Structure 1
């Protein structure tokens, strides 16, 4: 990890500790007060922007096809990628020609010295060409160029076009013109207001729905809770069959009385070896000493899921969200694993696409946990939604 990257991660950890009141003393009260003041300004900007779209000061555009937006109102992992998979497969099954359009968070362009110098002096123009991650038949970009989520979706959704551009109107038009799609799924699209009309699916993490109910940067909300009123459907993620979500649903109903609820959970399926794609059953973990590695917004769900299969967790390595792992970092983790006599390293599927090509794993297998989204309740609501989207 480079010096600047390490400093950036340390700052992010510090700010999160301040937000969640895990730190006290020193400059913490001053930092907290500053963050809350900035949150007020951020909320004002968010609401002015929304008002501008509602009144027509800022224009919206229709692409002439079905648009499904899947997003959230908080930062961090609510399970958008598995939700996109579920909707894409269901729409594809009904005969729709589907494209996933993403902004490609932390995707990069190919490095050249000329490009670097232009970027340094702010001379780099906007990307003219939409990035095609997959045409539904072939994957053209790796995770570094495409972004983690678009690359994962391209691998897991054969027959679905995946394109990336910060201008998602341009990306959508490209997908329609070049690939003849009739349905576009906006990955993380709840805050992307220029495209209308559309069907808004909003994900809410039942384990931490709205954080401390404050907006960025003193909380995790991207918009005020009143903006829950835009959602057409709520996916309550990370639910459990015995969860009582009455209070959460009541809170949401204060702002949105019409959208229906679907409760869903992330179900662990199997372990996949990242070097040869061989598969192990989850029972493989029972009683074994393992190390956990993650670079996601909230790793607690992943860690608890692994712990439920009965391993002895000898080491936990947490990195910043979307961290791109180096060979040196992984080898250091494996070296530490040999000292602790671990039998395996386990990471998330999202992290696995950011692992380097490993020449050697020092005799320790490295697996990622494959998960899928499963509906606990609201199957009829989901099917009705898909039918409406397909004009049935």
Structure 2
């Protein structure tokens, strides 16, 4: 299955002239047409059954699968609301167990986080709750059957519209014109090389007239997996290997390079990759002798710890977890203004 996943990603991103890949891309493109018809039917059906509750509902979503930065923004919003003395419930799609749900529970230990395949059912269960002031839906942009009081769309600055094709030919969950439903767009993973004017023009092609906020990740903490924190300067000129099963791990590399570390090896896996002992053994076997430490993300730590809880670690080098947070690059006040209107206050 892992090999098939890698082959699929290689196929949809292939730009050469190999006839096998080109034929597969044509077949996937035809399937994308079927997907688009199904998408429009499902969207129309859901809109006719839209529900609204009296509690303010905020959605943080995207139009591509994998790695835009929804969860860090959800965490940021919850901290803002907690600072305002609000009781928040977070709704997350799917099961309680997994890298993102576990990360949410770890980062927001005092917040109610609900999980279900049906966000609509969870929301209906909250409508008579007097102790809930705000509901935040993680990954709610495609929940057309739920009224949102604030719809935030997160785009990746490196590929805001993926490779330009709908699933399965590409990674677009909806057509780019759907961004018009958003009240606010957050363009994440900005770098010094990002051309904000060009990004705004790309977004403007689809007649989006709302506010655009620009953010990036920054390293907040580096700590040993078994405990103990170090300063980011610890990585300066240190030879490291990166292990990550996240969407668009190139940005992880970018952050580590900015610490002055020398990246010797990268072991990158698909987003939400479930590691096995065999994976870790292969990493251990392939490690370059120059590598001094291994760096992983918080999402990967969740899965690493599960393996280590079942048996002893087979990684000989020390593992360090890199914690990141959102930093606003431009137009942060637009988000605060929206939240302030929603909460009926006079400032965040």
**Same fold, TM exceeding 0.5?**
yes
Post-superposition Cα deviations, 1:336-359, rounded to whole Å, max 9, x if no partner, equal 43x614211101111111112263
- Could you tell me how far 1:22 is from its partner in structure 2? 4.9
Partners of 2:164 and 2:56 lie apart in 1 by 33
| Conserved? CA contact 1:270–1:370, under 8 Å | yes
Which consecutive residues of structure 1, in runs of 5 or more, have no partner in the other structure? 1-7, 108-144
Corresponding residue for 1:25?
18
- Could you tell me how far 1:360 is from its partner in structure 2? 4.0
Partners of 1:176 and 1:344 lie apart in 2 by 49
Matched, 1:315 2:315: no
* Superposition map of 1:128-277 within 5 A: 145-174=96-125, 180-240=131-191, 243-276=194-227
Change (3 A) 1:360 1:75: closer
How big is the alpha-carbon RMSD for the aligned residues of Structure 1 and Structure 2? 2.1
- Could you tell me how far 1:176 is from its partner in structure 2? 5.8
Matched, 1:68 2:58: yes
- Could you tell me how far 1:242 is from its partner in structure 2? 6.1
Q: Equivalent residue of 1:146, what SS? A: coil
Partners of 2:290 and 2:192 lie apart in 1 by 37
Which consecutive residues of structure 2, in runs of 5 or more, have no partner in the other structure? none
- Could you tell me how far 1:212 is from its partner in structure 2? 2.4
Partners of 1:314 and 1:197 lie apart in 2 by 46
Matched, 1:343 2:292: yes
Matched, 1:327 2:290: no
| Conserved? CA contact 1:271–1:369, under 8 Å | yes
- Could you tell me how far 1:329 is from its partner in structure 2? 2.8
Corresponding residue for 1:35?
28
- Could you tell me how far 1:317 is from its partner in structure 2? 1.2
| Conserved? CA contact 2:222–2:231, under 8 Å | yes
TM-score (norm. length: structure 2): 0.91
| Conserved? CA contact 2:114–2:122, under 8 Å | yes
Partners of 2:30 and 2:323 lie apart in 1 by 41
TM-score (norm. length: structure 1): 0.81
Partners of 1:20 and 1:362 lie apart in 2 by 33
Partners of 1:9 and 1:365 lie apart in 2 by 26
Partners of 2:153 and 2:237 lie apart in 1 by 39
Which of 62, 81, 84 pairs up with 2:74?
Answer: 84
Change (3 A) 1:271 1:26: same
Partners of 2:308 and 2:26 lie apart in 1 by 44
